[in-house]
């Protein structure tokens, strides 16, 4: 009887551990803010391009400060934008689903490595250590597993717990 309880406890802990691990391992690391110098008058100059370097014309750009939208604007005919009257601080600049955390500095206060303009590259995210979609019989299965980690962990946990639960070879307990 004690061995059965131990097996069930081990199976339950395995299931819980597998279900929690994808959420515990989820990346919550934010990239370091990029430093950009404001021009005289608090002007932030920016440029939005795609992964090939082509300017994105009439593209919407939003600025947020402390999760509050500060400004929404569009790039001009060359993919440029300017914001007048900004103050130094940390902002989230977003365009076409891509976000950058930017620390803007008043003139003459920025670190030496700060950029004069903000260049945003949007689209075609780079994923390290992957060569792309390699054809093969397991490509779609691996993609599904990567997109559904909690369901995958549930299936693995069930695959472990069910045989353990069914393998009750202990004799019945005697009173």
Indicate if 10 and 78 belong to the same structural domain.
no
Let me know if residue 134 belongs to a domain: no
- In order along its 175 residues, the chain shows pLDDT tens digits of 566 776 777 777 776 666 655 545 444 456 678 899 999 988 999 999 998 889 999 999 999 998 888 899 999 999 999 999 888 899 999 998 888 899 999 988 889 999 999 999 887 555 555 555 555 555 677 777 778 888 888 888 888 888 887 876 777 777 7
Residue 70: domain span: 34-122
Kindly state whether residues 39 and 22 are assigned to the same domain. Answer: no
Q: What per-residue string of b and e applies to 145-171 under the rule 16 or more CB within 10 Å gives b?
A: eeeebeeebeeebeeebeeeeeeeeee
Looking at the structure, do residues 70 and 46 belong to the same domain, yes or no?
yes
Kindly state whether residue 111 falls inside one of the protein's structural domains. Answer: yes
Domain identity same for 111 and 157:
no
């Amino acid at each position: 009887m004690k061995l059965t309880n131990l097996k069930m406890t081990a199976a339950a802990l395995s299931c819980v551990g597998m279900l929690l691990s994808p959420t515990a391992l989820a990346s919550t690391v934010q990239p370091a803010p990029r430093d950009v110098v404001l021009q005289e008058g608090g002007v932030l100059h920016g440029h939005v391009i795609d992964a090939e370097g082509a300017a994105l014309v009439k593209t919407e750009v939003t600025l947020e400060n402390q999760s509050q939208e500060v400004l929404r604007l569009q790039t001009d005919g060359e993919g440029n934008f300017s914001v007048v009257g900004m103050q130094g601080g940390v902002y989230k600049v977003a365009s076409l689903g891509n976000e950058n955390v930017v620390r803007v500095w008043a003139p003459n206060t920025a670190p030496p490595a700060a950029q004069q303009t903000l260049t945003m590259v949007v689209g075609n995210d780079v994923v390290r250590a992957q060569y792309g979609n390699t054809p093969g019989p397991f490509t779609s299965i691996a993609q599904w597993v990567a997109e559904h980690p909690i369901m995958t962990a549930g299936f693995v946990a069930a695959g472990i717990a069910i045989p353990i639960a069914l393998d009750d070879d202990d004799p019945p307990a005697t009173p």
